[in-house]
Chains A and B, each alone.
Chain A
Amino acid sequence: MKAGKGAFIAVECVLGAVCILLIALMLTGKSEQKPRVSVVIENSGDSSWASLRYGMMEAAEDYDVDLTIANTDIFFDAEDMNSEMQQEMADGARTLIVWPMVDDHTKQYLDEASGRVQVITIGSDADSDLPHVGADDYALGEKLAQKILSDFDGSLQGKTMGILIDNAADSEQTERQKGLKAGLAKSGVKYAWTLNREELAQNDQDTEDFLEDDHYAADVIVALSDRDFQEAGNTAKKGELHGAVLYGFGSSTAAVSFVDNGEAAAVLVPDQFRMGYEAVHMAAESLESGRIRNVTVTGKILDRDVIFEPKNQQILYALSRE
């Protein structure tokens, strides 16, 4: 009798527990919150990030994460970047995607943040060991060199080249420069000058003023960043580039428009859509399974002949997303 009663109570308890489990499952299924992923990039509203933002938002939808892109201005130093990171972590971010700014303290702040949440670097890796999504900038530099050589029938003998660099401490640009020079090593080109915009800015000098100066005339000018490319493009538009052929790296419709309008010969557009997409994908994967791997993306060279080819129009579509 007692054993029968005990078995009956045991069965009822087990069934009751399963019922409670099912109800909890039904309720939690409805109220489950998406994991929050925050993005910290300098001047996040800038149009040059359009493609990156678009890629991130598409991935957030595909992988069902709550994506927040911190509304930021220009970072003057790593402290600014760190304060944004701290704010996002305080707001409940479980993963930070950071485009590190060039500063001596950047690595330290990133390492500190990675002790609290998952941190993924994008663009530049800031010499840290954190998971990274970015382009192989050395290869991109080589790719642009191949395009220049191709446009000049394989030789730059007797030609001079000027290089515009946004920040000589930025590994992204130094790698591009290395790749470019390696690709042109046997071309016979002479490097006339290299302008470091960051240094000029510290001396309250403007890049465009230098470019307009006859002293800085060159047969070919290569801009290693979107900002440099736009400044050089604007100079060319004014017809004051002394006949130099402009090449460079760009990630905005403005950069493409210089090529479209004939003010620049070609622009290499790093695939920032893919970069943004893979960064959020990586964040979602690490949140779900803890699995993480570095991702490298490529870029595409657009010149006037191919800009409006149907496949390339898609690049402009991504760059145009506001």
Chain B
Amino acid sequence: MKKIIGEVQKFAKRVRGAQSLRGIQSTLMLTFTTLSLVIAIVLGVIFYNRFQNASTEYRTVTTRTVMEQTGENLENYLAGMCRISDTASYDVISENEIGDTELSKELYLLYEANTDSVRSIALYSDTGRLLAAAPVANEKTNAEVKRQPWFKAAIGEMENFHFSTPHIQNLFSDDSTRYNWVISLSRTVDTTDQGTPGQGVLLVDMNYTGIDRMMEQINDSTGPQYYYLAAPDGQIIYHPDSMQIYEGITSENSVKEASHADGIYHETYHGEKRTVFVRTISYTGWKLISVIPERAMILGTVSNTLFILLFILLTLMMVLIVNRFAARHISKPILALSDSVQNFEAGKGADIYIGGSPEIRHLGLSIQRSYDEIEHLMQQIVEEQNIRRKSEMDALQSQINPHFLYNTLDSITWMVEGGKNEEASYMISQLARLLRISLSKGRNIISIEDEIRHAKSYMNIQKVRYKDSFAVTFDVPEELMQYCTVKLVIQPLLENAIYYGVEGMDGEGEIRIFGEMKEQTIRIHVQDNGIGMPEDMVENLLTGDEKVHKRGSGVGLVNVNCRLQMAFGEEYGLKIISEPDEGTDVMILLPAIPYNEENRKLLEQGKFPPETTVGKELR
């Protein structure tokens, strides 16, 4: 688990790193993508609404068309029944006497001509007695015609046609066990019975199957949408789920919907939103009703929604690809410029990227010029610093020579005047060697060997001057001889050892010069057994404090320490250990830099040789 978290964190870090490096590219891509996404979504929503509206409009138009056609078909069907009733009334019944065989014959002919749509034609007296019927059949004994709704309706309103709702015909019996569903068209008619005018009720029973088939056709493959037919009071005439309604499995809002005038209505029934189309059928006042549940609309729009989602996703994919290329194209020269500047700053390269668009090219050129100028100025500053350092070094070194030279020449003069020519000659030869090393062709860095030789010459001179009143021993190992040192650093220490250490001692003074190397640092000790110094004086010796009393050549320890640090760095220079009445040990700390021409030149310029690992802070 920890490993996974670690990997995730590493990945996130890498992403953050990449993001910070590619900030411009990310910003450009994010901006382009967001903009494109917003546009795609807005377009998607617009398309969706447009599809939705078009789909609703199409369904509305289709439904209206179906309802108009079906309404007209139903009206034609009913009108046809009215025509049959009219024919029976005016051309058959009015023209024949009750009981005439012609009456039954003509009724039968009329029935035969319309057998597809007509189940039976019957004429009853106003008392409910069967007067004639086609086809001829036995009347059921329990028919009770006067109690039948169609009979009561005809007697109740004599001027009108009366259409019943669908019902089982329950008038005639035959051998068949079938029960026929019919719609009864009844009306009062004028009759003549043996010359006496009277009134009767004409019944034309239409096959319900005609309407049933017509409605089934329009309900075929409509999905959740359906059409039904209801009487004005809401009684269902046809419904695709009539049995389910009867069984209580489902229900229909037919009473409310049948009460509507023609038009489109929105309602919520049993928690479902639905759109209802209503059209009134002529002759009967029946209502042809189409119900479109909301889920029918949703079903139609699911594929549209999927399509629009697909459109948005594909657009997004394309936009991401295009954006990535566009963002890379724009940001590439900027990133190249940024990388080159970073490399320059890290010292990995000096070339600034020049390329891309004119603006980026101009920027690159400007940066390149600025860096060139900065580098030039820096070189100038370094050179100036070197010159100043050299000047300071020269100034410090120049403090050595006059004082010492004056004293030595004074000693030689005394020797010559005292007839000590041999000693004078020795002194002059030592002085010559000393001066030769001091000059060193103007070099500041010399080998330790030369420096020791210089120190020896100096001490030889001083020993003559001080008549061997102190002992001197040089014990610097041969392997240290070929390392670099700043010239004339031991001689001032020897001078101090003589003046403040061993001069005027009761016993024999001893000055010991020895060297060692520890951890790539060379230590050259100038040790005396003189009077030593208290600790507070030791602490102030290297500070350059003017209050500290100094004697001798005037070239103090500060001078030597300063020159060493200028050449090798702050961690090098002098280190002094002294005990009063015990003596003093002054250490010269040097980096172990092999002496050769190349290293010497670099050190002269204030630089360290490349392979040297110490003292780099000098640069």
Which B residues are in CB contact (< 8 Å) with A252?
Answer: 177
- Roughly how many angstroms separate A261 CA and B139 CA in the complex, as a whole number? 11
Q: Is the CB of A29 within 8 A of B242?
A: no
> Which of A19, A25, A317 is close to B243, meaning CB atoms less than 8 Å apart?
A317
- Roughly how many angstroms separate A304 CA and B170 CA in the complex, as a whole number? 12
- Roughly how many angstroms separate A18 CA and B140 CA in the complex, as a whole number? 71
Q: Is the CB of A62 within 8 A of B244?
A: yes
Q: Does A58 interact with chain B (Cβ within 8 Å)? A: yes
| A3 and B17 contact, Cβ closer than 8 Å, known pairs A23-B310, A55-B243, A314-B242 | yes
Q: Is the CB of A310 within 8 A of B243?
A: no
Q: Does B406 interact with chain A (Cβ within 8 Å)? A: no
Q: Is the CB of B178 within 8 A of A253?
A: yes
Considering only CB atoms, which chain B residue lies closest to A311 in the complex? Answer: B246
> B159-193 toward A: CB 8 Å interface, digit per residue (1/0)?
00000000110100100011101000000000000
Q: Which of A8-16, A31-39, A88-96 sits within the interface?
A: A8-16
Looking at B25, B26, B249, the one whose CB has the most chain A CB atoms below 10 A away is B249
Considering only CB atoms, which chain A residue lies closest to B17 in the complex? Answer: A3
How many contacting A-B pairs (Cβ < 8 A)?
97
- Least Cβ–Cβ distance between A269 and chain B, in angstroms: 13
Q: Does B317 interact with chain A (Cβ within 8 Å)? A: yes
- Least Cβ–Cβ distance between A16 and chain B, in angstroms: 7
Q: Which of A295-322 contact B (CB under 8 A)?
A: 304, 308, 310-311, 313-314, 316-320
Q: Does B196 interact with chain A (Cβ within 8 Å)? A: no
> Which of A8, A261, A314 is close to B173, meaning CB atoms less than 8 Å apart?
A261
Q: Is the CB of A1 within 8 A of B18?
A: yes
> Which of B14, B15, B320 is close to A11, meaning CB atoms less than 8 Å apart?
B320
Considering only CB atoms, which chain B residue lies closest to A55 in the complex? Answer: B243
Which A residues are in CB contact (< 8 Å) with B426?
Answer: none
Q: Does B22 interact with chain A (Cβ within 8 Å)? A: yes
Q: Which of B68-76, B259-267, B299-307, B609-617 sits within the interface?
A: B299-307
Q: Does B272 interact with chain A (Cβ within 8 Å)? A: no
Q: Does B538 interact with chain A (Cβ within 8 Å)? A: no
- Roughly how many angstroms separate A273 CA and B11 CA in the complex, as a whole number? 67
Which B residues are in CB contact (< 8 Å) with A260?
Answer: 140
Which A residues are in CB contact (< 8 Å) with B433?
Answer: none
Considering only CB atoms, which chain A residue lies closest to B18 in the complex? Answer: A3
Q: Does A7 interact with chain B (Cβ within 8 Å)? A: yes
Which A residues are in CB contact (< 8 Å) with B11?
Answer: 3
Which A residues are in CB contact (< 8 Å) with B307?
Answer: 26
| A253 and B320 contact, Cβ closer than 8 Å, known pairs A4-B26, A7-B15 | no
Which A residues are in CB contact (< 8 Å) with B249?
Answer: 274, 277
- Roughly how many angstroms separate A58 CA and B25 CA in the complex, as a whole number? 63
- Roughly how many angstroms separate A273 CA and B179 CA in the complex, as a whole number? 17
> Which of B25, B179, B324 is close to A256, meaning CB atoms less than 8 Å apart?
B179
Which label, helix, strand, loop or mixed, suits the secondary structure of the A interface? helix
Q: Does B505 interact with chain A (Cβ within 8 Å)? A: no
Which A residues are in CB contact (< 8 Å) with B321?
Answer: 12
Q: Is the CB of B243 within 8 A of A314?
A: yes
Q: Does A167 interact with chain B (Cβ within 8 Å)? A: no
- Interface residue count on the A side (C-beta < 8 Å): 44
Q: Does A84 interact with chain B (Cβ within 8 Å)? A: no
- Roughly how many angstroms separate A131 CA and B243 CA in the complex, as a whole number? 24
> Which of B18, B243, B324 is close to A2, meaning CB atoms less than 8 Å apart?
B18
- Roughly how many angstroms separate A318 CA and B247 CA in the complex, as a whole number? 11
Q: Is the CB of A310 within 8 A of B167?
A: yes
Q: Does A54 interact with chain B (Cβ within 8 Å)? A: yes
- Roughly how many angstroms separate A86 CA and B21 CA in the complex, as a whole number? 71
- Roughly how many angstroms separate A314 CA and B179 CA in the complex, as a whole number? 11
Q: Does B136 interact with chain A (Cβ within 8 Å)? A: no
> Which of B26, B170, B310 is close to A22, meaning CB atoms less than 8 Å apart?
B310
Q: Is the CB of B177 within 8 A of A12?
A: no
Q: Is the CB of B167 within 8 A of A313?
A: yes
Q: Does B241 interact with chain A (Cβ within 8 Å)? A: yes
> A256-291 toward B: CB 8 Å interface, digit per residue (1/0)?
110011100000000101100100000000000000
Q: Is the CB of B167 within 8 A of A273?
A: no
Which B residues are in CB contact (< 8 Å) with A274?
Answer: 247, 249
- Roughly how many angstroms separate A277 CA and B307 CA in the complex, as a whole number? 37
| A58 and B241 contact, Cβ closer than 8 Å, known pairs A15-B316, A25-B306, A29-B302 | yes
- Roughly how many angstroms separate A218 CA and B21 CA in the complex, as a whole number? 107
> B224-263 toward A: CB 8 Å interface, digit per residue (1/0)?
0000000000000000011110110100000000000000
Q: Is the CB of B316 within 8 A of A316?
A: no
Which B residues are in CB contact (< 8 Å) with A314?
Answer: 242-243, 246
Q: Does B313 interact with chain A (Cβ within 8 Å)? A: yes
Which A residues are in CB contact (< 8 Å) with B18?
Answer: 1-4
Q: Does A254 interact with chain B (Cβ within 8 Å)? A: yes
Looking at A18, A308, A314, the one whose CB has the most chain B CB atoms below 10 A away is A308
- Least Cβ–Cβ distance between B205 and chain A, in angstroms: 14
- Least Cβ–Cβ distance between A4 and chain B, in angstroms: 5
Considering only CB atoms, which chain B residue lies closest to A314 in the complex? Answer: B246
Q: Does B194 interact with chain A (Cβ within 8 Å)? A: no
Q: Is the CB of A12 within 8 A of B320?
A: yes
Question: 10 nearest interchain CB pairs?
Answer: A3-B18, A254-B177, A257-B177, A314-B246, A3-B15, A3-B14, A22-B310, A316-B179, A15-B317, A308-B170
15 contacts between A and B (CB under 8 A): A1-B21, A3-B17, A11-B320, A19-B310, A19-B313, A58-B243, A253-B177, A253-B179, A257-B177, A271-B247, A274-B249, A277-B244, A314-B246, A317-B168, A320-B181
* Additional pairs, 4, CB under 8 Å, beyond known A22-B313, A256-B177, A260-B140: A16-B317, A19-B313, A274-B247, A314-B246
A residues lining the B interface (CB < 8 Å): 1-4, 7-8, 11-12, 15-16, 18-19, 22-23, 25-26, 29, 54-55, 58, 62, 252-254, 256-257, 260-262, 271, 273-274, 277, 304, 308, 310-311, 313-314, 316-320
